[in-house]
C-alpha cells in the first residue's frame, strides 16, 4: 500500500468511526437534524410573517441564510469532537498505530460533509413545505448545494484549527458561540447589508458569510430585481467569490490544523 492509498483507506476508517458516533450520540444528531428544522420553522413563521420585501417573499430571501447559518454551526461539531477526543487518549492509540497521520483530521472533516448533507437536505425539504422554491435550472441548483458543501468543508478546517489551539471542549464551545453569532448576524442573512450603518456595512459586505449567502441566493434564484445587490466586489461576483473563499480557507487552515494537531498530540 502506498502513502496515498493508506491515507485514503485510513481516512475512510476514521470517517466511518465519526459517522457512527454521530448516529449514536443524540446530542450531535439533534444539532444536525432537529436544530435545522426548528430554525427554518422559527425564522419562516416569525420573521416571514412580519417582514415584507419588494418582489419576493421573505421566506425565500431567508432560506439561503438559514442554510449558511446551519452549516457554520454544525462545522463546530468537528471542533467539539476533536477537543473531546484530545481529552480521552484515543489519539494516543491512533498514533501508536501504523496509520496515516493525516487520517484523523481528514476523517473528521469528511464525516462533517455527511452531517452537512443531512442538515441541508432536511432544511431544503422543510423549506419547500413552508414556501421556499428554487427558480433556477437543476444544474444551477445542484451547483448551489455544492458551493454550500465546499464552504462547509473548508469551514470545518477552521473550527478544527480553533479547537486544536484551545484544546478543551468548554473553551471551544464558548469561543465558537461568541464568534459564530456575530459572524452570522453581521451579514446579509436576515437583513439587507447595504442598509447597515458605516463600518458594519463594510464588514457585512466583505464577510465570506455574506458572499456565500448571496452566491446561494443567485444559484437558487432567491433574488428579486427590485432588490439591488451592493456594489462590493464579492457580492457582485458572489458564486466565484464563495468558491475562492473556500479555497483560501482550505489553503490556510489545512496546514495550520495539521501542525496544531501534531503539536497537541505530541506532549
Partner 1 sequence: MPDAIVAEGLVKKYGDVVALDGMELTVPEGTVFGLLGPNGAGKTTTVRILTTLLKPDAGHAKVAGFDVVRDARRLRAHIGASGQYAAVDDHLTGAENLEMVGRLYHLGVKRAKQRARELLERFDLTEAGDRPVQGYSGGMRRRLDLAGALVASPPVLFLDEPTTGLDPRARASLWDVISELVTAGTTVLLTTQYMEEADRLADRIGVVDHGHVIALGTADELKDQVGGDRIELSVTSAADLEAVRRTLAPLAVGDMQIDATALQVTIPVTGGAAALTTALGHLSTERITVRDAGLRRPTLDDVFLTLTGHEADEKIKETVR
Cβ–Cβ < 8 Å for 61, 217: yes
User: For partner 1, which is the closer residue by CB, 253 or 261?
Assistant: 261
Q: What backbone phi and psi angles, to 5 degrees, belong to 131?
A: 110, 5
Q: How far is the CB of 172 from partner 1 (least distance, A)?
A: 19
- Measured from the CB atom, the residue of 95 and 259 that comes closer to partner 1 is 95
- In the complex, minimum distance from the CB of residue 93 to partner 1, in angstroms, rounded to a whole number: 4
Give residues in contact with partner 1 (CB under 8 A).
1, 6, 9-10, 13, 16-17, 20-21, 24-25, 88-90, 92-99, 103, 265-267
- Nearest to partner 1 of 12, 149 (CB atom): 12
CB closer to partner 1 out of 11 and 79: 11
Residue 266 has φ and ψ, to the nearest 5°, of -105, 45
- Work out how close the CB of 21 gets to partner 1 at its nearest, in angstroms, rounded to a whole number: 4
Q: Smallest gap, in angstroms, from Cβ of residue 162 to partner 1?
A: 23
Rg of the chain taking only CA atoms, in angstroms: 19
Which ranges in the chain belong to alpha helices (H)? 3-24, 26-29, 35-46, 58-88, 90-95, 103-129, 138-166, 169-185, 198-206, 208-220, 233-236, 238-265
For residues 3 and 231, which CB has a smaller minimum distance to partner 1 in the complex? 3
Q: How far is the CB of 22 from partner 1 (least distance, A)?
A: 8
Q: Distance between CA atoms of 216 and 182, rounded to whole angstroms? A: 20
CA atoms within 13 Å, Cβ hemisphere of 88:
11
The torsion angles phi and psi of 121, rounded to 5 degrees, stand at -60, -45
Among residues 231 and 266, whose Cβ is nearest to partner 1?
A: 266
Query: Hey, what's the cell of 124?
Result: 431544503
CA separation for the pair 220, 62 (Å, rounded)? 12
Amino acid at each position: 500500500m502506498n502513502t496515498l492509498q493508506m491515507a485514503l483507506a485510513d481516512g475512510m476508517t476514521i470517517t466511518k468511526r465519526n459517522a457512527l458516533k454521530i448516529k449514536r450520540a443524540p446530542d450531535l444528531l439533534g444539532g444536525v437534524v432537529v436544530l435545522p428544522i426548528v430554525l427554518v420553522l422559527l425564522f419562516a413563521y416569525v420573521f416571514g410573517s412580519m417582514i415584507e420585501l419588494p418582489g419576493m417573499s421573505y421566506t425565500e430571501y431567508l432560506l439561503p441564510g438559514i442554510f449558511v447559518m446551519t452549516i457554520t454551526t454544525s462545522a463546530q461539531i468537528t471542533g467539539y469532537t476533536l477537543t473531546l477526543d484530545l481529552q480521552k487518549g484515543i489519539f494516543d492509540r491512533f498514533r501508536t498505530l501504523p496509520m496515516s497521520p493525516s487520517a484523523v483530521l481528514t476523517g473528521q472533516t469528511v464525516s462533517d460533509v455527511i452531517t452537512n448533507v443531512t442538515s441541508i437536505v432536511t432544511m431544503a425539504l422543510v423549506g419547500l413545505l413552508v414556501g421556499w422554491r428554487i427558480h433556477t435550472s437543476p444544474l444551477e441548483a445542484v451547483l448551489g448545494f455544492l458551493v454550500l458543501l465546499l464552504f462547509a468543508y473548508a469551514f470545518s478546517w477552521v473550527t478544527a484549527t480553533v479547537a486544536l489551539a484551545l484544546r478543551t471542549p468548554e473553551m471551544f464551545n464558548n469561543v465558537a458561540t461568541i464568534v459564530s453569532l456575530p459572524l452570522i448576524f453581521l451579514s446579509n442573512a436576515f437583513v439587507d447589508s447595504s442598509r447597515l450603518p458605516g463600518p458594519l456595512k463594510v464588514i457585512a459586505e466583505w464577510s465570506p458569510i455574506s458572499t456565500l449567502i448571496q452566491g446561494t441566493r443567485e444559484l437558487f434564484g432567491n433574488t428579486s430585481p427590485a432588490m439591488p445587490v451592493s456594489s462590493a466586489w464579492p457580492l457582485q461576483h458572489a458564486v466565484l467569490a464563495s468558491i475562492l473563499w473556500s479555497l483560501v480557507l482550505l489553503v490556510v487552515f489545512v496546514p495550520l490544523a495539521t501542525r496544531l494537531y501534531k503539536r497537541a498530540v505530541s506532549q
